[in-house]
Amino acid sequence: MKVADILRVKGNTLYTVNPDEPLMRAVEIMADKDIGSLVVIDHGDLTGMLTFREVIQVVVKNGGTIGTTRVRKAMDDAPLTCTSETELDEVRRMMLDRHARYMPVMDKRMLMGVISFYDVAKTVVDSQNFENQMLKAYIRDWPSEDEPGKS
């Protein structure tokens, strides 16, 4: 299974923010859209990833407030990325190694979407459930040795 399979089911709604916007504006977007990350785009290029993890780090650093911090100061400026052709097993390994909860999907320099660790886990569980159903159906239809004409 590949990342493209997740994107096909998930859809292609993307939420982005400019690196020079106030961090508070980004937090408002995340809260309003009920999302845990924003892709940071500058002049059409991916320049970073902002997640609730980076926001919390800023709040702690600023003594409990966001203050006047800009997205650029908070974002991860070297986010982990993949392509739509990346195998799901590889994505799981990459996300676990980097403790990444969100990963932009790129096609050369074009942003194709964002997948979350939840998206990956759900896809794996759904796939395993389907496989289990198929195996159970196969076992139920297994011919017994006593049936005439079966050998």
Residue 149 has pLDDT above 60, yes or no: no
Task: Write down the mean pLDDT value for the chain.
Answer: 88
**Beta carbons within 10 angstroms of residue 79's beta carbon:** 22
How far lies 132's CA from each of 6, 70, 135, in Å?
Answer: 20, 48, 5
- CB of 45 within 8 A of CB of 21? no
Q: Indicate whether this model's pTM tops 0.85.
A: no
Q: Cα(48)–Cα(151) distance, rounded to whole angstroms?
A: 62
- CA-based Rg of the chain, rounded to a whole angstrom? 21
Residue 114 has pLDDT above 90, yes or no: yes
Closest CA to 19 of 101, 75, 92: 75
